[in-house]
Amino acid sequence: MSDDSPGPAESETQSRTNRLDSQTRQGTPYTESQVIMPTVKVVAPFAFTYGLFVTFHGGGSPGGGFQGGAIMAAVVFMIAFAFGIEATREWLANTVIVALAVGGTLVFAGIGLVTIARGGAFLQYELLPVPLAEIDRVTYGMEAVEILGIAAIVSGVLMGLFFVLASGFAQENDDSDAGDTVATDGGER
Amino acid sequence: MTGATLLATTGPEITAIEASLLVFVVITAIVTALARDVLAAVIVFGAYSLGMAALYTFYRAPDVAMTEAAISAGVTTILLLLTLAKTSRIDHEIAFESVNLPAAGAVGFLFVGLLLTMADIPAVGSPDAPVWSNADVTQWYIAETYAETGVENTVMAVLAAFRGFDTFGEAVVVFGAGVAALIVLHREVFA
């Protein structure tokens, strides 16, 4: 977020403080910037592709589901900083975030439990019921855990933490004097 | 191996880039600890994480470097900034906290104590380092990973296959962190 208020030192500090305190649109400060928006438009597709590469190519190069999921979530953060958190929140439905986090956990647990059900240990990939060679069952089982499990959980939870931190306490929306409460809390620091 | 011979063997191996990265990391760490302005501390902390990520790359740990860059430098900084934006900013007259002398003394003693152990730590990249030269763990994974799992990245094979149950626990912890944030903030939906 750029500081677009020129002037003497004192008034600049004053306006900056006000902007940080502004409670417009559920308290997430947003400054439309002609520099950040085009930059994010150019960078975001490449960053997202890199996140996919790190996730899907984790078996042959550094990386994996955790790092790739974090990079893909960071792309959403970039979009939110450029175009506003509330706009991004509306664009990215809650269902998507919950489906990623819950679905990833269920896939990971499911793969582990299927191999137990077939008489093996947790995540004993060679017992997976897929028509592949044994070594391929291990490789693709691991890839499934990394891509459908870990990457989904990490990207979903990180996006969720971002949006839920941006909106803060649920009471703030119900309170009419939410701005005063937040300002007082900050002042005690 | 004494400290003097260790310095003699590793001295020429520290490149100028590594040395400057080490200095950068130490300076940013101290500034993070002493800065009065929280916004400044968060930004310098992000720079510290980026420096650590570059250092990990130099020490041949690209998986750790990627995690440090994505999670510490990227996501954590953004989440801290987001939290900070919801507070009001205090303008401080002075830039740095005054140093608490007892705390600095304790840290100094710890620092000297850790320095004394340096003589017994094998040099970076040494083939005799215990973590590298043991046949039962490290060398076994390096030799058997491809035959057992069909992937070339040993780190991923350890995480997803050999120690898969640990990773499942970690993944559930991440999931739990999301649920805990919802509970703490009295919310029922993420977005």
Question: pLDDT tens digit string along B87-105?
Answer: 887 777 888 888 889 999 9
Q: Least CB-CB distance to B88: which of A105, A169, A183?
A: A183
B111-122 per-position pLDDT tens digit: 999 999 988 888
Task: Give the structural domain span for B188.
Answer: 124-191
Q: How many helices (H) and strands (E) does chain A have?
A: 10, 0
**Among A135, A145, A175, A182, which would you mutate to test the B interface (most chain B Cβ atoms within 10 Å of its Cβ)?**
A145
A28-50 per-position pLDDT tens digit: 667 788 899 999 999 999 999 99
> Looking at the structure, do residues B85 and B130 belong to the same domain, yes or no?
no
Q: Do A165 and B83 touch (CB under 8 A)?
A: yes
Q: Least CB-CB distance to A160: which of B91, B150, B178?
A: B178
The 3 state secondary structure assigned to chain B is: CCHHHHHHHHHHHCCHHHHHHHHHHHHHHHHHHHECCHHHHHHHHHHHHHHHHHHHHHCCCHHHHHHHHHHHHHHHHHHHHHHHCCCCCCCCCCCECCCCHHHHHHHHHHHHHHHHHHHHCCCCCCCCCHHHHCCCCHHHHHHHHHHHHCCCCHHHHHHHHHCHHHHHHHHHHHHHHHHHHHHHCCCCCCC
Q: Do A70 and B71 touch (CB under 8 A)?
A: yes
Domain boundaries, chain A: 26-169
Q: What is the mean pLDDT of chain A?
A: 80
Q: Is the pLDDT of residue A10 over 70?
A: no
A90-141 per-position pLDDT tens digit: 888 899 999 999 999 999 999 999 999 999 899 999 889 989 888 999 999 9
A54 touches chain B (CB under 8 A): yes
- Residue in chain B closest to A145 (alpha carbons) equals B160
Q: Do A162 and B160 touch (CB under 8 A)?
A: no
Residue after which a domain boundary falls, among B79, B94, B109? B94
> Looking at the structure, do residues B150 and B87 belong to the same domain, yes or no?
no
Q: Is the pLDDT of residue B132 over 90?
A: no
Q: What is the mean pLDDT of chain B?
A: 87
Q: How far apart are CA B10 and CA B13, in angstroms?
A: 5
Q: What is the ipTM of this complex?
A: 0.83
Q: How far apart are CA B87 and CA A27, in angstroms?
A: 10
pLDDT at B4: 45
> Looking at the structure, do residues B65 and B128 belong to the same domain, yes or no?
no
Looking at the 3D structure of chain B, how many domains does it have?
2
Tell me the nearest-neighbour CA distance from A113 into chain B, angstroms.
11
Q: Do B190 and A94 touch (CB under 8 A)?
A: yes
| Torsional sign, CA B95, A4, A48, B21 | negative
Q: How far apart are CA A182 and CA A24, in angstroms?
A: 13
A66 touches chain B (CB under 8 A): yes
Q: Judge whether B101 lies within some domain.
A: no
Tell me the nearest-neighbour CA distance from A23 into chain B, angstroms.
8
Q: Judge whether B119 lies within some domain.
A: no
pLDDT at A4: 45
Residue after which a domain boundary falls, among B77, B94, B111? B94
Say how far residue B59 (Cα) sits from the centre of its chain: 12
A82 touches chain B (CB under 8 A): no
pLDDT at B124: 76
